Amino acid sequence: MNNRMFHLGGNYKKPIGKVIFHKESGNNVVKPDPINHKNTMTQTEKKRFKDWFDQEAAEALATQLSTVYPSFNQKGFIKSATLNIHRLEMGDRVKQFSESMALFLPDDKKEALEIIHRSLPPLLPDVTEITQGWLQWPVGNFIADYGLPHLETSFAAMIDLTQCFTSEFAVRPFIEAYPEECLSRLLELCTHPSPHVRRWCSEGTRPLLPWGKKLKSLVHDPSPVWPLLEKLKDDPEKYVQKSVANHLNDISKNHPDLVVARCELWLKEASPDRQWIVKHGLRSLIKQGHPEALALIGYKPVKALACKLTSTPEVLSIGEHTLLELTLMNHHSQTQKLLIDYAVTYVRQKGKTGRKVFKWTQITLEPEEHRSLTKKHSMRMTTVRALYPGEHRVEIQVNGQPMATTVFQLTVPT
């Protein structure tokens, strides 16, 4: 996990100054800054992410802009940026900051873009540095909203912005408006010395980037981005490799066979890093039990495998866990390499259900070998998953094939 900054394309931690944001839980853990104690909190205190765009953030951004544009109306900007801020969610706060910048920067948007470009904080030399880059989010919004008529100026700003925060959101309107020009520029940047810029070439063109605008043309036809991914598939930086893998995973959701075919080519004389990209990029297809994807990573259809699954207790309350017990017996004459996942079918509102696949383990079974496995599965409420009472089904997948099921009843605590 790199400590660079807030990026939304996969699992991450987000340093905000000394604040680490955990995507999975939505909680912040704030470590006191030994140099600057201003506005630090104890580690047990929590702050919603949207609340970082507040009066203090507006003041900080006003100071940043006025440093290179002395006539910037700081008071007017702060008042506009924070108007009814407590009523706004995250995206609307960032948008209000950006629109307030437009009100108080020059009407000539090319000049305004040059000002915000000059105001950016120092560029990060590598992917281990901690930054307060989150404050630049409205800058990216400004470029996306007002920069389209000024491609050259906007691109120069985005190249530097992505080295102190990210331009993966800002670049998307440009890809829609100038697809050939933008992809040509990004292709050249795939060899840029900064890993942040190289990552941007992949992350900014992902068709289904989380929190980003869907790039419909690339969802329909991903062929324009293959030259970028080809150039990046052997990048030495894990930070870039993760983006390439996530990009493959995006494409696989609409073009599974294209991704499998590409990965088959990539696996020829592949380095360990490229093998990791392929396996991580195929993860959604692997969870779905896609046979060709599984075969690429060495998992063949199972044969003569006995499988039994139980869950204990059979009735549990929300907040408790069930213990899954799996017994396997290989009756085949050959050793079998097994990738074991399990899928939980959750009860949803209004009688609906939702299925989610979880990783379990990887094992190898010799002929006539018996193996017993156990795993706890929590039925605790989280910020991203509501739970409802009723019958929940658990299904074991071995090399993508459904092999055994069990059920348990979930109840509301009394």
**pLDDT exceeds 70 at position 27:** no
Q: What's residue 257's pLDDT?
A: 96
CB 48 within 8 A of CB 14: no
CB 161 within 8 A of CB 196: no
Compute the distance between CA of residue 15 and CA of residue 109 in angstroms, rounded to an integer.
31
Return residue ranges of the chain for CATH 2.60.40.10: 305-411
CB 370 within 8 A of CB 13: no
Q: What's residue 354's pLDDT?
A: 94
**pLDDT exceeds 90 at position 28:** no
**pLDDT exceeds 80 at position 30:** no
Q: Give the residue, 14 or 352, on which the prediction is more confident.
A: 352
Q: What's residue 128's pLDDT?
A: 66
Asked whether the whole model's pTM tops 0.85, one would answer: no
Q: What's residue 385's pLDDT?
A: 82
CB atoms within 10 A of CB 157: 25
Compute the distance between CA of residue 119 and CA of residue 134 in angstroms, rounded to an integer.
14
Would you tell me the crossing angle of helices 179-189 and 151-161 to the nearest 10 degrees? 40
- Cβ neighbours of residue 197 under 8 Å, at least 6 residues apart? 159, 162, 163, 189
Confidence of residue 234 (pLDDT cuts 50, 70, 90): very high
* Average confidence score pLDDT of the chain: 88
Q: Which residue has the tokens 């599984």?
A: 294
**pLDDT exceeds 90 at position 84:** yes
CB atoms within 10 A of CB 410: 19
Please state whether beta strands 305-312 and 321-330 pair in parallel, antiparallel, or not at all (unpaired).
antiparallel
Fold category of 305-411 in CATH: Immunoglobulin-like (2.60.40)
> Which letter does DSSP use for residue 33 in this model?
P
Question: Most distant CA pair in the chain: distance in Å?
Answer: 81
Query: For the segment 333-377, what is each residue's pLDDT rounded down to a tens digit?
Result: 999 999 999 999 999 998 899 999 999 999 999 999 999 999 999
Confidence of residue 127 (pLDDT cuts 50, 70, 90): confident
Q: What's residue 20's pLDDT?
A: 30
Confidence of residue 414 (pLDDT cuts 50, 70, 90): confident
Q: What's residue 178's pLDDT?
A: 97
* CB neighbour burial string for 264-278, b if at least 16 within 10 angstroms, e if fewer: eebeeebeeebeebb
Compute the distance between CA of residue 300 and CA of residue 40 in angstroms, rounded to an integer.
53
Instruction: Give burial (CB, 10 Å; 0-12/13-18/19+) of 171.
Output: buried
Q: What's residue 12's pLDDT?
A: 31
Q: What's residue 49's pLDDT?
A: 76
* CB neighbour burial string for 199-220, b if at least 16 within 10 angstroms, e if fewer: bbbbbbbbbbbeebeebeebee
Peptide bond into 313 cis (omega under 30): yes
Q: What's residue 204's pLDDT?
A: 98
- The DSSP code sequence of 166-211 is --TTTTHHHHHHSHHHHHHHHHHHTT-S-HHHHHHHHHTT-TT-TT
Q: Which residue has the tokens 């494409």?
A: 251
**pLDDT exceeds 60 at position 36:** no
**Token pair for 46:** 């929590």
Would you tell me the crossing angle of helices 90-104 and 55-68 to the nearest 10 degrees? 30
Q: What's residue 11's pLDDT?
A: 31
How large is the average pLDDT for residues 59-77?
A: 98
CB 34 within 8 A of CB 54: no
CB 127 within 8 A of CB 237: yes
Query: For the segment 167-221, what is each residue's pLDDT rounded down to a tens digit?
Result: 999 999 999 999 999 999 999 999 999 999 999 999 999 999 999 999 999 999 9
Confidence of residue 13 (pLDDT cuts 50, 70, 90): very low
Query: For the segment 241-254, what is each residue's pLDDT rounded down to a tens digit?
Result: 999 999 999 999 99
Q: What's residue 46's pLDDT?
A: 62
Q: What's residue 129's pLDDT?
A: 56
Q: What's residue 131's pLDDT?
A: 55
**pLDDT exceeds 90 at position 17:** no
How large is the average pLDDT for residues 145-165?
A: 97
Confidence of residue 2 (pLDDT cuts 50, 70, 90): very low
Intra-chain end-to-end CA distance of the chain, in Å: 41
**pLDDT exceeds 90 at position 57:** yes
Query: For the segment 86-107, what is each residue's pLDDT rounded down to a tens digit?
Result: 999 999 999 999 999 999 999 9
How large is the average pLDDT for residues 152-163?
A: 97
Query: For the segment 395-409, what is each residue's pLDDT rounded down to a tens digit?
Result: 999 999 999 999 999
Compute the distance between CA of residue 390 and CA of residue 290 in angstroms, rounded to an integer.
30
